[in-house]
Amino acid sequence: MHSRLRFIFGGCLLLVAAACAPNRAVTPSYQTVTSVNITAGRAFDNYEPVPQEAAAILGCDKAPNLPICLVTIPSSEEDSAFRSEGARLREHGEAKCRELGEAILANSERVKMYPKALVVESGNGRLYGVGHTYELGDSWMIRVARRIDDLNDRSLEEKKRTLRHEMSHTIGAQESGSAWTAEDYAVRCG
């Protein structure tokens, strides 16, 4: 298994660039607000390039400016929300959700954030890639977008939904099929 690398980008080919999030219109806010960056210099604000092995899987070796090519640790708020989500799901009434909760807690150290969604224009409109999961060696790498774009943050609820979707791949969920799909885990365990 150590030589096998598997990449799942919300069930979509990265080069085809489909998305895991529902297509939604993003309306920028035009309020005038004084900006204060209280997180400047914190570890979760410092994005670093993905390792070379991951870059080859994600296409960052050919397109290093893709948002998914930079990652950072979750903020304390994100990390706490993700761990709480795992603990909540561990007590869920549905066995599949309990299994997902265990996976979240077991893989919490492998969750990283990338700055914003991978946005792709298609014939159906704009698609937002807000999460992806891939296997590197014997380890799963789970990635969640922090923002939709430069103007629009994602809520903790949106990030947890993406976490459920992406983490379900670590326990065998596929994007489509007759068994529970990654989307089923995202919705039914929500």
Domain containing 175 equals 6-14+44-188
**Would 31 be classed as within a structural domain?**
no
- Which residue has tokens 């070796």? 61
Which pLDDT score is estimated for 117? 95
Q: Percentage of the chain with pLDDT > 70?
A: 77
Instruction: Please provide the size of the chain in residues.
Output: 190
Q: What is the pLDDT of residues 153-180, one digit of tens each?
A: 999 999 999 999 999 999 999 999 888 9
**Would 33 be classed as within a structural domain?**
no
- Which residue has tokens 């997180």? 39
pLDDT at 181 over 50: yes
**Would 34 be classed as within a structural domain?**
no
**Would 25 be classed as within a structural domain?**
no
**Would 39 be classed as within a structural domain?**
no
Number of domains in the chain: 1
Three-class SS state of 49: strand
The pTM (predicted TM-score) of the whole model is 0.77
Q: What is the pLDDT of residues 36-60, one digit of tens each?
A: 344 444 556 799 999 999 999 999 9
**Would 38 be classed as within a structural domain?**
no
Q: What is the pLDDT of residues 87-128, one digit of tens each?
A: 999 999 999 999 999 999 999 999 999 999 998 888 888 889
Which phi and psi angles does 133 have, rounded to 5°? Answer: -135, 140
